[in-house]
Amino acid sequence: MKKFKEKLSGRIFFALALSSISALALITVFIIYKGAQTFIDVGFFKFIFGMSWSPGRDEFGIFPMIIGTVTVTLGAAAIGVPIGICCSIFLAEFAPSALQNIFRPAIQLLAGIPSVVYGFWGLLFVVPLIRNYLGGPGLSILAGAIILAIMILPTIITISEVSLISLPRHYKDGSLALGLTQWQTICSVQLPAAKSGIVAAVILGLGRAMGETMAVIMVLGNAVALPDSILAPVRTFTTNIGIEMGYASGEHQQALFATGIVLFVIIMMLNSLAQYITRRKAK
Amino acid sequence: MKLSPKTAQKIAKTLIWSAALFVLVVLVAIILYILIKGLPMINWGFLTAIPRDMGRSGGISSTIVGTAMVTAVAIVIAVPLGIGTAFYLAEYTKEGMITRIIRFSADSLAGIPSIVYGLFGYIFFVIYLKMGWSVLSGGLTLSFMILPTMIRTSEEAIITVPNAYREASFSLGGTKWQTIIKTVFPSALRGIANGIILSIGRCIAETAAVALTAGAVLRMPTSLLSPTRTMAYHFYLLATEGISMENAYGTAALLIILIFFINVVVNAGVNKFMSKGK
Amino acid sequence: MNVLYLKKAIIISLLILSICLLPSCRGAEDRVIAAGSTSVQPYAEILAEEFALAYPDTEIDIQGGGSAAGITAAQSGTAEIGMSSRALKDDEKGLWVVEIAKDGLAVIINPANAVSDLTLEQIRDIYTNDIVNWGEVDGSDAKIHIIAREEGSGTRSAFEDLVMGKDRLITPKAIIQGSNGTIRQLVAGDPNAIGFISLGLVDGTVKALRLGGVEASKENVISGSYKLFRPFLFLAEREPEGPAKQFIDFALSEEGQRILSNEGLIPE
């Protein structure tokens, strides 16, 4: 009986693992199956480097969206990364414990707020501000970057903070004992030692920014043209899928799945990079 | 000019404090704005009445029920699968090709945008399996979405259980199954519970994946095959279609309160309760 | 925690699961799904609400998705009724179709904008990005912010058919928004924006342009002097029966048409 139970439990866990893997495999295979046809029909280079996206006339080029995705993501990183790292240093080194107890749940809450709420807030606050003070239609790379910067903060702060506080205590003590100031210690000892964790945090943050859909649909403007400034509207991979999926059929739908594949591959590369960096550190 | 270390320390300290305060201010700005506009809308009638006239009048009861049902389906499916897989990875296999593949795919899929899950769910569950726009399609799609995170957080929690616990159990003559159930599982429970809570929060807040799979119908869902509209999507439609700003704010305020309750209050409660138990 | 407890937990969760699944076995013959155009959706929802009062046993579920999705859904049988806010294309003609109302298409600008009348050609040149400044059409000197609907939207296709003609394309620089509501909201907030939405949705926050002197109004659509309008269609794989037919009949009935007219559409 005991042995039977042992065997059975092992089997059950194996079955559960197997179902999970098949579920994960199913999605991957399905998306590739659905989108691969586009790469064949349109041609890989024409799809990636095509300048015109006009499904009505069977033109499927996503280059403007690549530029859109890259600029918005980099913009979000430029705003979000310094703030995020500062916050993680704040939490790890400067914050009095009372403030920590407010700050941590606040970050959790920030992570949980539905993305549509961010988008809506952006549309009501950020977009008019940009339109009135900087010009242009307001719906722009800048608006998207600001909203995404806020949305990736929790990822960056939590992961960087963990890598900062998990450093051995004597790193810091040794440096302080040598008479360095707290800031010098942070700059020359703690940040370099926690580098790999922080870099991984930034990369995962970038992935999060790139994958966000509903918030950016509302503030980016979604134009399929190369932007001429950060005040111009652009479209990203996700907004392309989000805004057109409901309407698409046939080749158009396949092209959207193909957009999904491109996004999938980029995010997978980013994640592998983050993993590689963390793992290299662990060795 | 070179800054003296002391000046640098002062400047850096100011910058870091201001960055932290800035983040708090932004958070407070977003939340207060929604709460101030939305809280006055929330009353018993708003919570219990079915939306009328596209949501322009009436309450949001059916969207609350819809959200709960979709989330429940997702959790009921993803949690056992996720925990089981995590135990299999951590306790039943040796490190090798297979574990690495599972981990890699879970990590990659955890980062995949929810819209891609929506795309998959729409074609696969709604169209191909003919489930239609329904609670079931939406819940299944969400369960796929949270599965990678469930696997990884549970595995993380299991791995951090000290090996000494396992060895102690084995040396007392415990079998593997007994060890897992009586020793490893209880010690890892806190981490696993945190993972479940985060997943519930994600399901409630999700829009893109359910918009394509659960539907947009405002009627009260009566079964798993009824179409429904979740609160987050209801908010999106009310706000972007310009149907009713008041009700949009009310829905958003309720969402934020819910998320606050789940992510912060329940999570803190679980942590406190679990650490007391030890 | 012991094994017995776990067993119980498993049995209980299985029970819960089966209880949840049980109601889904119930037949759903009296359920009609109408899916498609987001422009038709709000009106269909109002119709469905009124219909529910008269026929409490029949459930009408209205889904969005867009005109193209509505047509596909009707073809594939995912929905009993498809909704479209544009005329069918040639390769879609095999479907059973009925027009439930006409809807004017209003070109809207911010009320603060001095312009109030444009010709069809001027609007076309704005949307091809040949006219880029309001000064070129007797407005103040400011860059025009063009807003359009997304590819596949019935409203966009109708606009392309009626305004752009065959060879002219809406510029890729145009801002794209997914619904009438967002376009209205953006135009209401931006003095230099131009967009197009359902005539029925024009309210005090935006200004509908006169078209070569003709005001955008229901009366002018009926009389034929305002040229921008498109049909709202219900369509199906084949002639509907049962509850789907009841619902369509209700939409075409005097009461249904009165409801649509009250909401700003042009009855048949």
pLDDT tens digits, one per residue of B100-151: 878 878 877 777 788 889 888 988 888 788 888 899 999 999 999 999 989 9
Angle at which helix A141-165 crosses helix A195-211, to 10 degrees, equals 150
Domains of chain B (ranges plus CATH)?
Answer: 65-229 (1.10.3720.10)
* SS3 of residue A95 by DSSP: coil
- Can you give the pTM of this predicted structure? 0.88
Residue tagged 């793992």 (tokens): A279
Asked whether residue A172 is assigned to any structural domain, the reply reads yes
| Number of domains into which chain A is organized | 1
Contact B227 C180 (CB under 8 A): no
Q: What is the mean pLDDT of residues C146-165?
A: 89
Give the angle C30-C34-C35 at the CA atoms, nearest 5°. 145
ipTM score here?
0.87
Q: Domain for residue A35, yes or no?
A: no
Quick one: B62 exposed, middle or buried, by C-beta within 10 A (0-12, 13-18, 19+)? Answer: buried
Q: From its phi and psi, is residue B173 left (phi > 0), alpha (psi between -120 and 50) or beta?
A: left
Secondary structure (3-state) at A179: coil
- Residue type at C89 in one-letter notation: K
Domain that holds residue A189: 61-282
Summarised one tens digit per residue, pLDDT across range B44-82 is 988 988 888 778 888 899 999 999 999 999 999 999 999
In a domain? residue A42: no
Q: Is position A24 within any domain?
A: no
Cα angle B119-B125-B126, degrees, rounded to a multiple of 5: 80
Whether A112 is covered by a domain: the verdict is yes
The number of CA neighbours under 13 Å toward the Cβ of A20 is 36
pLDDT higher than threshold 60 for residue C253: yes
Residues of C with CB under 8 A from a CB of B: 1-3, 6, 13, 16-17, 20-21, 23-24, 26, 28, 33, 38, 41-42, 45-46, 49, 59, 61-64, 76, 78, 178-182, 184-185, 201
Cα–Cα distance measured from residue C262 to residue C228, given in angstroms and rounded to the nearest whole number: 20
CB distance from C145 to chain A under 8 Å?
Answer: yes
**CATH number of the domain where residue A102 is located:** 1.10.3720.10
What is the C-alpha separation between A223 and A131, in angstroms, rounded? 17
| Closest Cα in chain A to B87 | A13
For C179, half-sphere exposure in the C-beta direction (CA atoms, 13 angstrom radius) is 23
Distance, CA of B214 to CA of B133 (rounded, Å): 5
In a domain, A184, yes or no: yes
Residue A257 lies in a domain: yes
User: What residues of C are in contact with residue B234 (Cβ under 8 Å)?
Assistant: none
Model pLDDT, residue B73:
95
**Chain B neighbors of C62, CB-CB under 8 A:** 216-217
pLDDT exceeds 90 at position C194: yes
Which residues of chain C have a CB within 8 Å of the CB of B136?
Answer: 24
Residues B146-177: tens digit of each pLDDT: 999 899 889 889 988 888 888 888 888 888 88
Place B181 in a pLDDT band, splitting at 50, 70 and 90. Answer: confident
Residues in B touching A268 (Cβ below 8 Å) = 108, 111
User: Among A150-164, C57-71, C166-180, where is mean pLDDT lowest?
Assistant: C57-71
Averaged confidence pLDDT in chain C = 85
Averaged pLDDT for residues C252-263: 91
Contact C24 B136 (CB under 8 A): yes
What integer pLDDT is reported at residue C214 of this predicted model? 92
Does C86 touch chain A if contact means CB atoms closer than 8 Å? Answer: no
Which of the four pLDDT bands, split at 50, 70 and 90, describes residue C8? low
* Top-confidence residue, B92 or A69: A69
What pLDDT score was predicted for residue A282?
61
In chain A, the residue whose alpha carbon lies closest to the alpha carbon of C67 is: A247
How deeply is B275 buried, as exposed, middle or buried, from its count of CB atoms within 10 A (0-12, 13-18, 19+)?
A: exposed
Range with the poorest average pLDDT among B224-238, C54-68, C147-161: C54-68
Task: Give yes or no for residue C152 having a pLDDT over 80.
Answer: no
Instruction: Please report the pLDDT score of residue B82 as a whole number.
Output: 92
Q: Which of A141, A218, A247 to mutate to test binding with chain C, by most C CBs within 10 Å of its CB?
A: A247
Per-residue tens of pLDDT for chain A, all 283 residues: 667 777 888 888 888 888 888 888 888 888 888 889 899 989 899 999 999 998 878 889 999 999 999 999 999 999 999 999 999 999 998 888 888 888 888 888 888 899 999 999 998 889 999 999 998 899 999 999 999 999 999 999 999 998 898 888 888 888 888 888 888 889 888 998 888 889 989 988 998 899 888 899 999 999 999 999 999 999 999 999 888 876 677 788 889 999 989 988 888 888 888 888 877 766 5
In chain B, residues with a C-beta closer than 8 Å to the C-beta of A256 are: 119
Whether the per-residue pLDDT at C7 is higher than 80: the answer is no
Distance, CA of C55 to chain centre: 25
Find the CB nearest B227 among C16, C45, C61: C61
In this complex, which of A137, A247, A249 lies closest to C150 when CB atoms are compared? A247
Any A CB within 8 A of C243 CB? no
Cβ–Cβ of C173/A225 closer than 8 Å?
A: yes
Measured between CB atoms, does A55 come within 8 Å of chain C?
yes
The distance of A262 to chain B (nearest Cα, Å) reads 11
pLDDT for residue C19 is more than 50: no
Q: How many CB pairs under 8 A join B and C?
A: 74
Q: For residue C41, what pLDDT is reported?
A: 86
pLDDT of residue C235: 92
Residue in chain B nearest C38 by alpha carbon: B241
* Cβ-proximal residues to B274 (8 Å cutoff; 6+ apart), any chain: B189, B190, B193
Q: Quick check: B240 and C21 CB within 8 A? A: no
Supply the pLDDT for residue B50: 86
Chain-chain contact of B205 with A113 (C-beta, under 8 angstroms): yes
Cβ atoms of A267 and A207 within 8 Å: the answer is: yes
Residues C92-134: pLDDT tens digits? 878 899 999 999 999 999 999 999 999 999 999 999 999 999 9
Confidence at C17, pLDDT banded by 50, 70, 90:
very low
Kindly list the partner chains of chain A, i.e. chains with 3 or more CB atom pairs below 8 Å: B, C
pLDDT, tens digit, for every residue of B252-267? 999 999 999 888 888 7
Helix axes of B5-38 and B245-259: crossing angle, nearest 10 degrees: 130
pLDDT at C250: 93
